[in-house]
Structure 1
């Protein structure tokens, strides 16, 4: 494995670790919300239960159920806001880190002054909000908020009609929250992966246009989980090398790379990564660039 390929794999490992850590933060937010919801549910049982049973008939009196649902929705709305801001901040971070670290690697290994600049805010926001589903990040989170509200309403109403104990109902609520947390983390994982691959490709494309001609390689994770379906076979794509401006092709689908094929069958939960190699250099080189650390490069070479 070449030195450049190793360094690009290291970038992916670093940013993937950041994503895993952020998934744990999101799980923590869901646990906090569930604890608050359990306290709210416990209060209803304590006030209105008979022999440990809380019924639908009891809860519809004096708008008790409606008041409970209003408070539940408030908790879920706050959760959605916290999860959304957590995801957005993380996606901004991996997008920038992916671009800057890739640019540092390419410039110091090619020894060509490539004139990389900071990512403009509008470009950063556009890359985060873009998605093949046609829904923005906020749209997807709002859709998920509405889904969990409906699901929990059904769970609570069913539990009341069945005369469930607080233990049984809380387990059902916890299960619903777990499903929602899984969906939120799927968004984090899929979108982080897309932005990491997109940012490294943008860096390589910039270099390619500036005299450092580059190729990109599709790298699968080489385990039993690598998708090999007819519509999305990443085992076939593994090891495929093309110039950075070209498209990968698999069946009827064309795309710039891992997480950027434009279809759910290819992109959701994809773990493949792009690595890069310098094909040739058609620009003046500067030996002093080779020894710059990432921190030095950020300070000396990245233009505002």
Structure 2
């Protein structure tokens, strides 16, 4: 991949090399797992042909039916596949955890070692990632949370495909050599798909680890005028989408993919860490391989470049004017007015954001709410993490935190101060039900929200906007 000349990106380049090496090692382990599967299937087929094939060496479905062995025969195939699935999931899971953790912690180390250190020292004495922060980030990594679903689909696909090939072979009366070749080819297809999962997840978790730590660093910058900016970079070759290279009988030929994904146009686009890139066609992504759209994500090789900029430098690069809102946040003013000329809604958005930031500094709010209500401390902590800290999968494939919400902030404040309303208790029940449903069913936010709303319809009873101006200033510090 192209090297950047800056010290920060040199370190990140080295981390990407480490991740690539880990991917290669995982590929080798997957090769060994599938070699074992092929060997076991050949052995099983050999024994079955020896018992049930006719004198000509052919095995038909009717032969198995006569012995009442068809169901047994197909189920044994499923057992062989099931034997490798835990091994596959462990290898991919270990890969995800290792790559994400190294890239997350490595990003903080890179910032500390980069030539931007002088700027950073004026803002934060310690930009390093604490173990508890890193552990929470790893546990909330969306790839880790959705991996069981990915591997479950992979298992179902290989079982279906092998059973289809077996059925065709048995109807044709294939001999052992033909059947073994047929099954081996189908297993090889599954193996390639497993390796594609490895490539995609490696890339996704490299970018996720960097980006999530980038957002953490952006929060650390507090009320400074510095912005941690991310720039989309491509490999700048003939394989960047929509361009494609395909092998034909006459050699390699270039062409264009009609999937709609165009990453050539993304080169050089810059946003603040955590904000979304516009990929076109209504598709957005916080980083390469994180749009939730296969045409954009699968086998994508794009990456993000990270730079610490002043507001003025950011404006020159992006064309977006930015200004400090006077309350510790950087806001875009291209389509908005700043500080003293805020609309009412914009004012509430900023209050909610600052309130969330204040609450996430410690667990005093959790202790107070638990004391003032009948809710367990751990339940309140889970709710807080759910609405303020964790990232969630949305139905459009995007993965991000919830936007700070003024109604939730006001409810949280009242609960902290011991003056809760019935609607505030309804809010807690709604969020607790929602988060539990998401974890139990590995589903997107909207699905869980609809389920929770049926039992605790908080949205329909919250107060109007006129009551949204009473956040106590002491909670905005």
* Alignment TM-score > 0.5, same fold: yes
Q: Does 1:213 align with 2:227?
A: yes
Residue 244 (str. 1) matches residue 244 (str. 2): no
Cα contact 1:197–1:257 (8 A) shared by 2: yes
Match in the other structure for 2:246: none
2:209 — aligned with what?
199
Which residue number in structure 1 is paired with residue 179 of structure 2?
169
| Contact in 2 for aligned 1:91/1:192 (Cα 8 Å) | yes
1:79 counterpart = 2:84: yes
Q: What residue number does 1:155 align with?
A: 165
Distance between the aligned counterparts of 1:273 and 1:66, measured in 2? 48
Give how far 1:91 is off. Answer: 0.6
Give the C-alpha shift of residue 79 in structure 1: 1.2
What is the rounded CA distance, in whole Å, between the counterparts of 1:43 and 1:273 in structure 2?
50
279, 289, 292: which is aligned to 1:262?
Answer: 292
When Rg is computed on C-alpha atoms for both structures, the one with the higher figure is 2
Q: Secondary structure at the match of 1:93?
A: helix
Please identify, of 160-169 and 211-220, the stretch whose mean Cα deviation from structure 2 is larger: 211-220
Task: Note the residue ranges of structure 1 that are not aligned, 5 or more in a row.
Answer: 282-304
1:104 is aligned to 109
Query: Match for 2:32 among 16, 28, 31?
Result: 28
* Secondary structure at the counterpart of residue 127 of structure 2: coil
- Cα deviation for residue 120 of structure 1 reads 5.3
Q: Distance in 1 between matches of 2:48 and 2:289?
A: 46
Matched, 1:114 2:124: no
TM-score (norm 1): 0.83
Mapped contact 2:143–2:201 kept (Cα < 8 A): no
Tell me, in whole angstroms, the C-alpha distance in 1 between the residues paired with 2:6 and 2:160: 52
Structure with larger RCO (C-alpha < 8 A, sep 6+): 1
Which residue of structure 1 lines up, in the alignment, with residue 46 of structure 2? 42
8 A contact 2:278–2:284 mirrored in 1: yes
Q: Is the 8 A contact 2:241 2:261 kept in 1?
A: yes
Q: TM-score, normalised by structure 2?
A: 0.54
- 1:180 CA drift (Å): 1.3
- Aligned to 2:58, the other structure's residue is in SS state coil
Aligned residue number for residue 340 of structure 2: none
- 3-state DSSP class of the match of 1:224? coil
**8 A contact 2:234–2:301 mirrored in 1:** yes
Match of 1:300 in 2: none
Q: Does the CA-based 8 Å contact 1:207-1:213 persist in structure 2?
A: no
Tell me how far apart the structure 2 counterparts of residues 120 and 5 of structure 1 sit (CA, whole Å): 21
Aligned residues: 277
What are the within-5 Å matches in structure 2 for residues 62-77 of structure 1? 62-77=67-82
> Which moved further from structure 2: 254-263 or 117-126?
117-126
Listed one character per residue, the Cα deviations across residues 52-108 of structure 1 (whole Å, up to 9, x for unaligned) are 222222222222232222221111111111111111111111110111111111122
Is contact 2:93-2:144 (8 Å) kept?
no
d(CA) in 2 for partners of 1:122 and 1:149?
35
Distance 1:42 1:7, change over 3 A: same
Offset of 1:15 from its aligned partner? 0.6
| Cα distance in 2, alignment partners of residues 101 and 39 from structure 1 | 46
Match of 2:192 in 1: 182
Aligned-partner SS, 1:214:
strand
The question of 1:141 aligning with 2:151 is answered: yes
In structure 2, relative to structure 1, the CA distance for the partners of 1:125 and 1:207 (3 Å cut) is closer
Secondary structure of the residue aligned to 2:284 is strand
- 1:95-136: CA deviation from partner (whole Å, max 9, x where unpaired): 1011111111112224342141225555423314478xxxx3
Structure 1 residues 29 and 243, CA gap change in structure 2 (3 angstroms): same
- In structure 1, distance between residues paired with 2:260 and 2:277: 14
CA RMSD, 1 decimal: 2.2
CA separation in 1, counterparts of 2:49 and 2:304? 54
Tell me if 1:91 matches 2:121: no
